[in-house]
């Protein structure tokens, strides 16, 4: 059985992985199913915690023709979920529900301490005997694999074997991504990565970080760039991939040069027929005619 998590596959090979955010809405899932992204993060931090919408969206993200053509069970676009709670709130049940529906990983907002990071990894792991290999962080995920196993196309036993976190378990398919969004998290990042195995990705929350630095959404401000460089350096020294949440056609070259390997790029919806029609009819500026 080949690897099922396309994001893990790209990161493990040292390549770049491409993803985007989307609400837990079936219409959005259908649009992304054939969009060419490696992964999709269902955004449930700043969107409602809608598990019914998430369940439906996961199904609509699957494309049967792509799976049949590829000849294996790996989805063309790997679904992750950004849960609503900050790291200090622990939020084990949010991770449990998202994973039980079939998500291949959890994005944890506002991780600031070693304890919060340990909880994030533990919440994504099933318990195992203390003498088992790779025991720590000890798993606390509740046992209800049926829906996730079916979504992955596996038996329960096969799902158990594949659903540990990567890279703690080299065969694991669950990705634990931590968002570092403030100076406390940056200051503790080295200790987090040194003391908590199982962190597959660090994503810089530059929006919240820029707020704390007093320069809201000024992503190119020297204060923000310096803070982001500190994250890149700490992660680079430890071989952990870093994600950039605001990749555009204008900055992607610099983002890659800086060393980011998880690139989140929002799609742009265009209306060429409307734009050209307005231009030809003298309404290129938009607005309603009176």
Backbone dihedral angles phi then psi of residue 91, each to the nearest 5 degrees: 60, 40
User: Which residues does 43 contact at the CB level (< 8 Å), separation at least 6?
Assistant: 21, 22, 23, 24, 82
Return the higher-pLDDT residue of 270 and 187.
187
Both structure tokens of 52: 């019914």
Classify strands 201-204 and 262-265 as parallel, antiparallel or unpaired.
unpaired
> Rg (Cα) of the chain, in Å, rounded?
20
Both structure tokens of 28: 């959005």
Residue 250 has pLDDT above 60, yes or no: yes
**Band of residue 290 on the pLDDT scale cut at 50, 70, 90:** very low
Q: What's the number of CA atoms in the CB half-sphere (13 Å) around residue 194?
A: 7
Let me know: does 175 contact 199? Beta carbons within 8 Å: no
Tens digit of each residue's pLDDT (9 = 90 or more) over 11-44:
999 999 999 999 999 999 999 999 999 999 999 9
Q: For residues 202 and 240, give the distance between their C-alpha atoms in angstroms, rounded to a whole number.
A: 7
Which fold is adopted by the domain 6-280?
Answer: TIM Barrel (3.20.20)
Residue 49 has pLDDT above 90, yes or no: yes
pTM of this structure: 0.94
Tens digit of each residue's pLDDT (9 = 90 or more) over 110-130:
999 999 999 999 999 999 999
**Long-range contact list for 133-139, CB < 8 A, 24+ apart?**
134/164, 134/168, 134/169, 134/197, 136/197, 137/196, 137/197, 137/198
Site of tokens 């991780």: 111
| pLDDT at residue 2, rounded to an integer | 62
**Band of residue 193 on the pLDDT scale cut at 50, 70, 90:** very high
**Band of residue 276 on the pLDDT scale cut at 50, 70, 90:** very high
Residue 287 has pLDDT above 70, yes or no: no
Mean pLDDT score of the chain, rounded to an integer?
A: 95
Residue 241 has pLDDT above 50, yes or no: yes
| Selection from 169, 170, 167, 205 nearest residue 185 by Cα | 205
Residue 1 has pLDDT above 60, yes or no: no
Return the ∠ at Cα 53 (arms to 175 and 48), rounded to 5°. Answer: 80
């Amino acid at each position: 059985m080949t690897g099922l998590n396309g994001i893990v596959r790209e990161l493990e090979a040292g390549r770049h992985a491409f993803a985007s955010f989307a609400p837990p809405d079936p219409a959005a899932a259908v649009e992304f199913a054939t969009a060419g992204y490696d992964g999709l993060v269902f955004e449930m931090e700043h969107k409602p915690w809608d598990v019914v919408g998430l369940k439906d969206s996961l199904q609509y993200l699957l494309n049967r023709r792509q799976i049949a053509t590829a000849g294996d069970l790996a989805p063309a676009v790997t679904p992750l979920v950004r849960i609503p709670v900050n790291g200090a709130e622990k939020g084990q049940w949010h991770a449990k529900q998202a994973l039980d529906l079939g998500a291949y990983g959890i994005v944890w907002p506002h991780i600031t301490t070693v304890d919060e990071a340990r909880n994030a990894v533990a919440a994504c792991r099933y318990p195992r005997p203390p003498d088992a290999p790779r025991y720590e962080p000890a798993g606390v995920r509740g046992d209800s694999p049926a829906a996730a196993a079916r979504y992955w196309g596996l038996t329960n036993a096969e799902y158990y074997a594949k659903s540990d976190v990567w890279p703690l378990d080299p065969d694991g398919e669950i990705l634990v991504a931590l968002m570092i969004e403030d100076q406390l998290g940056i200051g503790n990042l080295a200790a987090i990565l040194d003391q908590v195995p199982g962190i597959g990705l660090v994503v810089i929350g530059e929006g919240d970080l820029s707020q704390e630095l007093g320069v809201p959404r000024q992503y190119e401000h020297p204060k923000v760039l310096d803070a982001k460089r500190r994250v890149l350096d700490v992660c680079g020294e430890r071989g952990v991939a870093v994600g950039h949440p605001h990749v555009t056609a204008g900055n992607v070259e610099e983002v890659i040069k800086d060393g980011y390997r998880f690139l989140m790029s929002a799609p742009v919806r265009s209306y060429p027929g409307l734009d050209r029609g307005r231009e030809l009819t003298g309404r290129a500026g938009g607005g309603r005619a009176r």
